[in-house]
Structure 1
Amino acid sequence: MSSPDNELWQQSWRDGRMAFHQAEVNPLLAHYWSSLGLPPGGTVFVPLCGRSLDLVWLAEQGHQVVGCELSPVAVRDFFRQQRLTPTQTTLGPLTLWQHGAIRIYCGDFFALMPEHLGTIAAVYDRAALTALPESARAGYVEHLRQLTPENCPVFLLTAEDPEEGETDDRFPEISSEITQLYSARFAIDLAHSERRLETRREADGNPPQCIELRLYRLLPY
């Protein structure tokens, strides 16, 4: 199974249209990550990782880090910007780029198998779920379930559209989509919610858009 947006994602990296890329470590990651209480040295899986600096931050906390990214442009840029010279190994439809504590599998997320990742202590989903089209999200969650142990927590960042009629002063609630996708396996803790006005970097003529940024801690039952 492949996401129908694969080619659009690849083209965005080739064209340099990366409004989704953050130029610094995500502050919610830095603030809340320790609350998962992971053992030292545990391996963290980061799907759809792009060239995120969060990978470096996680490695600096003592974790082994395994990312997956569709675009070879993003993977190459990540190692160049960190001034690292990775080894490259072709593994069927995937290419493994590796240096030190960081491994990135370049290719389709749905081509990953459990043997590629080893034992995962936690998943850091940095808006990978909400970057996918809605039609692909249930398949993404199911494949993630197949890749990770039953006791593996998920640190889930999302960028959601506010529901119609919601006001800024309402008590934040877990979205119905997150409940539907994850409640069978996880207790869902909405740890943080904020609204932000996002301006796309490319000059497409669209006005700024209000989005809801949320952090969920998904803890296995």
Structure 2
Amino acid sequence: MKHEFWHERWEKQEIGFHLADTNPALAAHWQTIPVDLGERVLVPLCGKSVDILWLLREGYQVVGVELSEVALDAMAESIEETFSLAVDKQKVGDYILYRAAGILLICGDWFAMTSYDTGPIDAVYDRAALIAMPEDLRRQYSEQLRAVAGNAPQLLVTLEYDQSEMAGPPFSVPVDQVESYYGDVMNIDLIADKDCLIDEPKFRERGLSSLRERVVRLTPKV
């Protein structure tokens, strides 16, 4: 998927994937992830997600990565308003960095980043990254995540539906695909599975007859 696609979506504010409130899956299941308060949580392809505000309120440091400067400008503004923090914005090499106490937002190409760019990562929260990837990019995405975050524990939210009924993104990513990407080094535990079509009228309008949200916990194998 081309960068221009996502830049255009943000410029036009065609961001149906953005949630105005904290994702219930995060609030309900984050405590099952083995990560301590004060540790650093990576949120890949974070957009302007209010889930970042939730993680900060709970006492975690956050590293967010996003391609769109429009999205991160809005995210920085929300952080400033919510926490009365000044967010510093600077162009550094190939990236635009937004920094405040306990916060690092990186604007740039996810696939070009290294662990040096993000710094150490203790846990990962992925609600909108893997399901944003077409199938031919998902393995590359997961390999990049492991290159950046190692085998950090992860809370992953996926969707599953009949892909013939709707073109993504978001794409349908079955749990067995998650197993194929991470199962060699991570334990894959399905911790929630619900029919969420009734809560997603925009997807019914796009032709879906069924939509399931699955919450998956990934923890490193011993």
TM superposition score normalised by structure 2: 0.85
Q: CA deviation at 1:111?
A: 1.9
Which residue among 69, 73, 88 is the counterpart of 2:70? 73
Letter in structure 2 aligned against 1:56: L
Counterparts of 1:20 and 1:149, CA distance in 2: 27
- The correspondence of residues 35-184 of structure 1 with structure 2, limited to 5 A, is 35-82=32-79, 83=81, 85-150=86-151, 152-162=152-162, 175-184=175-184
Quick check: 1:95–1:106 contact (8 Å CA) kept in 2?
yes
Q: CA deviation at 1:112?
A: 1.3
Letter in structure 2 aligned against 1:116: D
- The equivalent of 2:170 in structure 1 is none
SS in 2 for 1:88: strand
Q: CA deviation at 1:148?
A: 1.5
RMSD (Å) for aligned C-alpha atoms: 2.0
SS in 1 for 2:18: coil
- The correspondence of residues 18-33 of structure 1 with structure 2, limited to 5 A, is 18-33=15-30
Q: CA deviation at 1:209?
A: 5.4
* CA distance 1:163–1:189, shift in 2 (3 Å): farther
Counterparts of 2:209 and 2:67, CA distance in 1: 26
Counterparts of 1:95 and 1:20, CA distance in 2: 23
Counterparts of 1:120 and 1:85, CA distance in 2: 23
Question: Which of the pair is proportionally richer in helix?
Answer: 2
Q: CA deviation at 1:34?
A: 1.0
Letter in structure 2 aligned against 1:147: V
Q: CA deviation at 1:114?
A: 0.6
Quick check: 2:159–2:212 contact (8 Å CA) kept in 1?
yes
Letter in structure 2 aligned against 1:175: V
Quick check: 2:97–2:105 contact (8 Å CA) kept in 1?
yes
* CA distance 1:110–1:87, shift in 2 (3 Å): same
Structure 1: runs of 5+ lacking an equivalent:
165-173
Which residue among 11, 15, 21 is the counterpart of 1:14? 11
Quick check: 1:156–1:216 contact (8 Å CA) kept in 2?
yes
- The equivalent of 1:191 in structure 2 is 191
Quick check: 2:155–2:215 contact (8 Å CA) kept in 1?
yes
Q: Tell me the number of residue pairs that the alignment of Structure 1 and Structure 2 aligns.
A: 205
Q: CA deviation at 1:119?
A: 1.5
Counterparts of 1:194 and 1:91, CA distance in 2: 42
Q: CA deviation at 1:31?
A: 1.1
